[in-house]
Amino acid sequence: MLHTQVRTNSPNIFCNFEDIDGGITALTIEKKNINAIYDDIFPDKGKTLDETKHIVSNEFKIIKEFNAKFEKNVLISLNDKPPTEAVKNLIYISDEKEKELHDHLDKGDFKVQMPYELLFLNKQTNGAFLLGIGSYFPFELFPFFMDISDYSEDVALVYENIDDKFDAFISCLNNLKYDDGRFVYFSMDVGAAAAFGKKTFEYKDKVNKLLGNNYFGIMSAPSSAYIPPEFRLRNYLSETHNNTFFMGAGTSSCLEI
């Protein structure tokens, strides 16, 4: 998925009501018996890279395969072409949507969920990473937010249909450990709003049914997590490094405090 809100000096990050520009804020909770849960909308990875390739070929529609050149978190080319040029004729966007995008791009108020993604396979973990891509990006190089040095140069442009994954976006809430009414904090992927539109309001009733009133939830950028093996629910496709999990879309997390 690719969510865009393009403008300079955005977002603003505040600490004690002071703008700290490009800094990072962190919330630390010190308490015994806190349960942390991470989950995503994807199937389990395979035991080998070939097995993972087979799994993702069933999960996503493969549009075209490429040989990619990249340096850490910058995608340089696909089949020796600039990334957006390489996918331009493979990604459908209506003339009306393209005009709307260009009209709003310089205002910082255009948000879109992209079902077209580049699929990278991790040579170290046998996991995968999805990178949303659109043909409208105006530069030849395609920078993003994760170092993919451990990933294979063989990538694929894929289409993801998530119509049947509405409930999966809050799947972390189906694996709560305690039933003593403790407070639950959770985060879900904001991409659900772009993907499901008005249907997103149904999450409120679903969460209330699961948690009652003792919770606080946010829709935000997809969660990442460090999870030792003994705390994992399954073999996540989204393992980017040893015991570290992230995907460009579809992840969720929660804390039982």
d(CA 119, CA 244): 18
| Structural domain contains residue 18 | no
Pairing of strands 251-256, 14-15: unpaired
Q: Once rounded to an integer, what is the mean pLDDT over residues 149-154?
A: 94
Higher pLDDT, 16 or 247: 247
Question: Between 154 and 146, whose confidence is greater?
Answer: 154
Q: How many domains does the chain have?
A: 2
> Is residue 213 a part of any domain in this protein?
yes
Task: Enter the pTM of the model.
Answer: 0.78
Exposed / middle / buried, residue 251 (Cβ in 10 Å: 0-12, 13-18, 19+): buried
Instruction: Kindly state the average pLDDT of the residues 124-148.
Output: 83
Mean predicted confidence (pLDDT) in 84-101: 64
Contact assessment for residue 186 and residue 252, using Cβ atoms and an 8 Å cutoff: yes
Residues 118 and 192 in one domain: no
Average pLDDT for residues 217-223, to the nearest whole number?
Answer: 91
Q: How many whole angstroms separate alpha carbon 222 and alpha carbon 250?
A: 6
Predicted confidence band of residue 88 (pLDDT cuts 50, 70, 90): confident
| Same domain, residue pair 86 and 149 | yes
Whether residue 1 lies inside any domain: the answer is no
Look over the chain and give the mean of its residue pLDDT values, rounded to a whole number. Answer: 84
Same domain? For 248 and 171 the reply is yes
Percent of the chain with pLDDT over 70: 81
Residue 236 domain-assigned (yes or no): yes
Does 21 reside within a domain?
no
Q: Are residues 152 and 111 in the same domain?
A: yes
Considering the domain architecture, whether residues 125 and 190 belong to the same structural domain is answered as no
DSSP line for 91-131: S---HHHHHHHHHHHTTT-------EEEEEEBTTTS-EEEE
Same-domain check for residues 245 and 217: yes
Domain final residue pick, 133, 159, 185: 159
Considering the domain architecture, whether residues 169 and 90 belong to the same structural domain is answered as no
User: Which of the two residues, 24 and 199, has the higher pLDDT score?
Assistant: 199
37-74 pLDDT, tens digit per residue, is 999 999 999 999 999 999 999 999 999 999 999 998 89
**Is 5 within a domain?**
no
Residues 183 and 214 in one domain: yes
More confident residue, 38 or 93: 38
Same domain, 54 and 148: yes
24: pLDDT confidence band, cut at 50, 70 and 90? low
From 106, 129, 159, the end of a domain falls on 159
With 60 as the cut, is the pLDDT of residue 198 above it?
A: yes
Q: Residue 195: what pLDDT?
A: 86
Domain extent at residue 57: 49-159
Instruction: Give the torsion through C-alpha atoms of 59, 97, 144, 188, to 10 deg.
Output: -60
CA 244 vs. chain centroid, Å, equals 14
CB-based contacts of 119, cutoff 8 Å, min separation 6 = 56, 60, 128, 129, 130, 155, 156, 157, 158
Residues 191/200, Cβ–Cβ less than 8 Å: no
Q: Tell me: do 98 and 154 sit in the same domain.
A: yes
The predicted pLDDT at position 89 comes to: 80
Q: Is residue 7 part of a domain?
A: no
- Higher pLDDT pick, 230 / 255: 255
Residues 150 and 68 in one domain: yes
